[in-house]
Amino acid sequence: MGKPDTRAIDREISKTTRKLEAVRRGEMWALNSSERRAVLGALAGGSYRVLRGKSTTRQESRLESVSEQAITRLTAEITALHMERQRIVREYAAAKAAKKGASRWW
């Protein structure tokens, strides 16, 4: 028995971590479709309010809340992926221990 196969989970963890860093930098590609739609709506509403010379406080707070929601979602995904990786490693260790215990010759 070699090592447990966690390459797919590790790849997903690194992809989600890159998305989290991108959201923190304010990049749009890491957002899902509903978050993108909310950001674009807030930007459109804010630009309209700027054009009219009015306050954009509501739109700015909407942008911040969408960003916080995306960060929360991605952090939860990373946590779930880490837990899944731990489960795989634990199952592998249990199977290896059971195999070692069953292979005694006496």
DSSP string, 45-100: HHHHHHHHT---HHHHHHHHHHHHHHHHHHHHHHHHHHHHHHHHHHHHHHHHHHHH
Query: Which tens digit of pLDDT belongs to each residue from 84-97?
Result: 999 999 999 999 88
Q: In whole angstroms, what is the distance from residue 82 CA to residue 10 CA?
A: 9
Look at 65 and 4; give whichever has higher pLDDT.
Answer: 65
Q: What pLDDT was estimated at residue 53?
A: 93
Q: In whole angstroms, what is the distance from residue 43 CA to residue 49 CA?
A: 10
Q: Which pTM was predicted?
A: 0.85
Query: Which tens digit of pLDDT belongs to each residue from 14-29?
Result: 999 999 999 999 999 9
Count other Cβ atoms within 10 Å, centred on residue 46. 19
Kindly state the tokens that stand for 46.
């804010």
